[in-house]
Chain A
């Protein structure tokens, strides 16, 4: 509970964060940037978990625990994504999104 700040304000911030992430995911030209956008999306949801836990059920811990889980999974997923990007770089010497279009019709 943070004095003077209501849950709506925080949720507004996280929503903005979430949609920035979505926007970045769709528009970025570089795979690394896309990955960073995904991190933004995940972090938005992590903050949501924590905030909802704190404001609605202050004597419980589930939300916090889940936040930790999501952080762990996000780390693993990032490692995986980076390794895929590295492999891709070895194959086509590029990490640009436009160079990964060979799977079209």
Chain B
């Protein structure tokens, strides 16, 4: 299969970014919107063509999906250790191409309506293109270092877009928080990469992931503190992934990131960038699975399961609809992680891996839809808070229906997309780890509950007094909603197990009816509760909130994790470590340097009179020098 043209997929958004970014003052906003959408349409078309070619035409040899690589060496360290830049086409990267293109294209179209009249319109599209370029580069990366480079690039574009309203202090601090927290996680990632380079001797995914390769077979040979170094490297790499995917305890940046414009939240903080962590684990899945019998993978499973539960509980108590969606995203990302964590490798055993990717795919569609729907609502009522909304179904029929579809999808109601992927995850969890399975089922119920809590709260319930009458959003915003709603309905019917498996051989997945029935039942139960509590506004929810007492308060303040982090950073790190270091630096390091500088100035002030400006002085010095040298030579010669 010829894949040379795929290099255009990331390069087109890069070109658009350069064009819009360098001429942001000259290009008219209307045109820049079209340029952005057009550039991305071409990219998306190429991505879909690649997916079609790969999955349906000639990706397979002997029923095994092949890996196509097109790369060139960038930096050489030793014979085997080098950093390449290139493109790797395999099932998950092609699937990610489709996800990124679809959501990004929809968000681009949507932004033309949502951002209309905004001052930095062109800048916004430039950043979106930069992000899309980085994300494409990330999913197509051939080795750990390349993925790291693009990993940081998506971090930067996320930073730029969260801080898009840079005059708002909360947005600025949210941007900084996101950047610093993910950077901190990426420090682990970088150390992991370096350990991997040193002990495994390669950054290349193909070398690392080969189940019969030396890395996996000899991985456990060098050990450190009871674990092999490769396991440590994997755990550190997972730390980077956890930071990007907002896994506990590195999740604190994601809710704050909602300060960015809503389309950004949909694209970056729901559908694409935050799944990079899941993608990273999936990318290195054979290593996670085989090295030391999957110790690292178990950690992934438990971190994922805990994050899913933790975020779902917080989501119930939040009053800002975007924050509810943010915690919901975190919860669903935890779901994907736990699915990877409970997955096996061969044949049907790989159902967890498949389910994780499946859920990533469907989640991208319906979560982007939820965010865009929320954006449409916010656009209409000019508030993020649930208390300012209610009874909107009359005014916004399209948003209402599409939001309902997305909510049903995430709640796992058949036949919507979320049902199929969530069912596969629960099957995998049931087969490998009962404890995680119970958490998964419980979270499924919570998910349905909090999602319908905001659905009923927004579209039903008592009508609020609005400043001006809410109205349906323009077509440029509703078309993406409808497309994504359609995808949220049909995406579940894609036979993912045929395409994406750890060993790249397709298998046939069957619906496990008892488990599906349980999951659906729990989901419906959650919806039913939400219906009782929130369909018509009543005091029931307040009563129950009171019944939970301190626990409710605890959850609604996000279990005080922000405060804990603040305490650790401000009180402990700043006061006890940074302040003495700063003092030492000021006094001794700076003191030495400044002393040298001051002495130089003193001396030069003394001797600068030599440069008198009189050329005859210079001539005199020159002649005297010549005479002295001559005398020295005569003296040497004559002796």
Residues of A within 8 A of B (CB): 22, 25-28, 34, 97-98, 100-105
Stretch at the interface among B63-71, B301-309, B615-623: B615-623
| 10 nearest A-B residue pairs (beta carbon) | A104-B613, A101-B613, A105-B608, A105-B611, A103-B613, A26-B620, A26-B616, A104-B612, A26-B619, A101-B614
CB-CB under 8 A from B615, the residues of chain A are 97, 100
Give Cα A97–Cα B612 distance, bound, in whole angstroms: 12
Give Cα A101–Cα B617 distance, bound, in whole angstroms: 11
Residue in B closest to A22 when the chains form the complex, CB atoms: B623
Whether A26 contacts B613 by the Cβ 8 Å rule is: no
Residue in B closest to A25 when the chains form the complex, CB atoms: B619
In the assembled complex, 8 residue pairs joining A and B whose CB atoms fall closer than 8 Å, in A order, are A28-B616, A97-B616, A98-B614, A100-B613, A101-B612, A102-B613, A105-B609, A105-B613
For chain B, residues 292 to 321, give those with C-beta under 8 angstroms from any C-beta of chain A. Answer: none
Residue in A closest to B623 when the chains form the complex, CB atoms: A22
Give Cα A103–Cα B617 distance, bound, in whole angstroms: 13
Interface secondary structure of A, over-half rule: helix
Instruction: Tell me how far the C-beta of A15 lies from the nearest C-beta in chain B, rounded to whole angstroms.
Output: 13
CB-CB under 8 A from B616, the residues of chain A are 25-28, 34, 97
**Known interface pairs A105-B608, A105-B609; A97-B614 also in contact (CB < 8 Å):** yes
CB-CB under 8 A from A22, the residues of chain B are 623
Instruction: Tell me how far the C-beta of B624 lies from the nearest C-beta in chain A, rounded to whole angstroms.
Output: 10
Residue in A closest to B604 when the chains form the complex, CB atoms: A105
CB-CB under 8 A from B620, the residues of chain A are 26
CB-CB under 8 A from B612, the residues of chain A are 101, 104
CB-CB under 8 A from A28, the residues of chain B are 616
Whether A104 contacts B619 by the Cβ 8 Å rule is: no
Give Cα A27–Cα B614 distance, bound, in whole angstroms: 11
Give Cα A28–Cα B615 distance, bound, in whole angstroms: 11
Instruction: Tell me how far the C-beta of B448 lies from the nearest C-beta in chain A, rounded to whole angstroms.
Output: 81
Give Cα A103–Cα B615 distance, bound, in whole angstroms: 10
Give Cα A102–Cα B613 distance, bound, in whole angstroms: 6
Instruction: Tell me how far the C-beta of B617 lies from the nearest C-beta in chain A, rounded to whole angstroms.
Output: 8
Residue in A closest to B609 when the chains form the complex, CB atoms: A105
Give Cα A14–Cα B609 distance, bound, in whole angstroms: 35
CB-CB under 8 A from A105, the residues of chain B are 608-609, 611, 613
Give Cα A100–Cα B613 distance, bound, in whole angstroms: 7
Given contacts A25-B616, A26-B620, A104-B613, 13 further A-B contacts (CB under 8 A): A22-B623, A26-B619, A28-B616, A98-B614, A100-B613, A101-B612, A101-B614, A102-B613, A104-B611, A104-B612, A105-B608, A105-B609, A105-B611
Instruction: Tell me how far the C-beta of B184 lies from the nearest C-beta in chain A, rounded to whole angstroms.
Output: 51
For chain B, residues 589 to 639, give those with C-beta under 8 angstroms from any C-beta of chain A. Answer: 608-609, 611-616, 619-620, 623
Residue in A closest to B613 when the chains form the complex, CB atoms: A104
Give Cα A103–Cα B613 distance, bound, in whole angstroms: 5
Instruction: Tell me how far the C-beta of A11 lies from the nearest C-beta in chain B, rounded to whole angstroms.
Output: 16
Instruction: Tell me how far the C-beta of B399 lies from the nearest C-beta in chain A, rounded to whole angstroms.
Output: 75
Give Cα A27–Cα B615 distance, bound, in whole angstroms: 11
Give Cα A43–Cα B268 distance, bound, in whole angstroms: 84
CB-CB under 8 A from A27, the residues of chain B are 616
Instruction: Tell me how far the C-beta of A49 lies from the nearest C-beta in chain B, rounded to whole angstroms.
Output: 20
CB-CB under 8 A from B611, the residues of chain A are 104-105
Give Cα A81–Cα B136 distance, bound, in whole angstroms: 69
Instruction: Tell me how far the C-beta of B320 lies from the nearest C-beta in chain A, rounded to whole angstroms.
Output: 65
CB-CB under 8 A from B608, the residues of chain A are 105
Instruction: Tell me how far the C-beta of A83 lies from the nearest C-beta in chain B, rounded to whole angstroms.
Output: 17
Instruction: Tell me how far the C-beta of A26 lies from the nearest C-beta in chain B, rounded to whole angstroms.
Output: 5
Instruction: Tell me how far the C-beta of A100 lies from the nearest C-beta in chain B, rounded to whole angstroms.
Output: 7
Instruction: Tell me how far the C-beta of B24 lies from the nearest C-beta in chain A, rounded to whole angstroms.
Output: 47
Give Cα A28–Cα B616 distance, bound, in whole angstroms: 9
CB-CB under 8 A from A100, the residues of chain B are 613-615
Give Cα A22–Cα B621 distance, bound, in whole angstroms: 12
Give Cα A25–Cα B609 distance, bound, in whole angstroms: 21
Give Cα A28–Cα B614 distance, bound, in whole angstroms: 12
Give Cα A104–Cα B608 distance, bound, in whole angstroms: 9
Residue in A closest to B621 when the chains form the complex, CB atoms: A26
Give Cα A59–Cα B608 distance, bound, in whole angstroms: 54
Give Cα A105–Cα B606 distance, bound, in whole angstroms: 12
Whether A26 contacts B623 by the Cβ 8 Å rule is: yes
Give Cα A46–Cα B121 distance, bound, in whole angstroms: 79
Residue in A closest to B612 when the chains form the complex, CB atoms: A104
Give Cα A26–Cα B623 distance, bound, in whole angstroms: 9
Give Cα A97–Cα B623 distance, bound, in whole angstroms: 18
Give Cα A97–Cα B613 distance, bound, in whole angstroms: 10
Instruction: Tell me how far the C-beta of A23 lies from the nearest C-beta in chain B, rounded to whole angstroms.
Output: 9
CB-CB under 8 A from A103, the residues of chain B are 613
Question: Which one of A34, A98, A100, A105 has the greatest number of beta carbons of chain B within 10 Å?
Answer: A105
Question: Which one of A26, A97, A98, A104 has the greatest number of beta carbons of chain B within 10 Å?
Answer: A26
Give Cα A82–Cα B608 distance, bound, in whole angstroms: 31
Question: Which one of B609, B611, B615, B620 has the greatest number of beta carbons of chain A within 10 Å?
Answer: B615
Instruction: Tell me how far the C-beta of B612 lies from the nearest C-beta in chain A, rounded to whole angstroms.
Output: 5
Give Cα A104–Cα B619 distance, bound, in whole angstroms: 15
Residue in A closest to B626 when the chains form the complex, CB atoms: A22
Give Cα A34–Cα B618 distance, bound, in whole angstroms: 14
Give Cα A104–Cα B611 distance, bound, in whole angstroms: 6
Residue in B closest to A104 when the chains form the complex, CB atoms: B613
Give Cα A101–Cα B609 distance, bound, in whole angstroms: 12
CB-CB under 8 A from B609, the residues of chain A are 105
Instruction: Tell me how far the C-beta of A16 lies from the nearest C-beta in chain B, rounded to whole angstroms.
Output: 15
Give Cα A88–Cα B142 distance, bound, in whole angstroms: 69
